[in-house]
Amino acid sequence: MYKAASRKIGIFLTGFILLAGAAIVPPSLCAGMHELSDGEMAAIYAHGFSTFTLSTDTNGNSLATINFSGVTLSTWTEIQSMKVGYYLKGTTAWDNDWTTVSLGTSSTDLVAQGFYIKAGFSGDITNPATRQLEYVQIGTTSLTGPISANFNSFSGSLDNGVTNISRTNLGAATITSSGGGFYLSLSRNGVGSQMGYSFNWGSATKTP
C-alpha cells in the first residue's frame, strides 16, 4: 500500500488511541504523596487494567488478544475526510473513502465500551520463521450511536460479517449501532475479515 495510506491510517489510529487515553487518564495528576488512613486503605479495590490471551479462531489461526476492560469513550467528532487502503484489488482504489464524517451528533454521543486488539497468525505462533500475521483488529465490544458520512467507498459489514461489502458507494448515509460490537480490521487475504481495511459492526442499521 502507498505511504500516503499508511500515514492516514497511522493518524486515524493515533487519534483512536489518544481518545481512549483521554477517557481513562485523570484530567490532573498530583505528584505529591500522602498517607492513607486504615479506613481509606480498606475501601480501595484494584484489578488488572488489561488481560492477554492466546486462543484459536474459527479458521485455525492462532489468536493473540489484549482486552482493556472498564474503558468507556464518548465523543462527538467531525472529520472532513477519512481515507484508508489505497492499493490494487481488481482496480487501484480506496477500501474506504468517507467525507463529511460525523462520529455522534451534537445531541447524541457515539459511545464505545470495552476496547480490544486482536492479531491472528497462521503457522506456529511460537516460531518466528514460520508464523505469518494474517490480520489485526482494533475494536470495542459495545458501540452505541450514529456515524454519518458520504460513504464514497465503503468496505466492511453491518451484520457481524454475514454480508460483506467491498468498495461500494453507499452515498450519504447514517450507520447507527445500538450496542453491538465494532472493529477496524486490516487483513492480508480476507482471513478473519475482508482483505484490506474494513469497518465491521456486529449489528447496525443504515439509513436511508
Backbone phi, psi, residue 15, to 5°: -60, -40
Domain ranges of the chain: 3-20+49-207
Across 95-119, average pLDDT: 96
* Distance from chain centroid for Cα 24: 17
Element (H, E) at 142: strand 132-157
Alpha helices (H) along the chain:
3-24, 38-42
pLDDT recorded at residue 12: 43
Nearest to 99 by CA among 63, 143, 147: 147
Q: How far apart are CA 68 and CA 110, in angstroms?
A: 18
pLDDT recorded at residue 43: 66
Q: How far apart are CA 49 and CA 92, in angstroms?
A: 41
Say whether pLDDT at 5 is over 70. no
Say whether pLDDT at 112 is over 50. yes
**173-202 pLDDT, tens per residue?**
999 999 999 999 999 987 655 899 999 999
Average pLDDT of every residue of the chain: 83
Q: How far apart are CA 54 and CA 49, in angstroms?
A: 18
**30-42 pLDDT, tens per residue?**
445 556 676 766 6
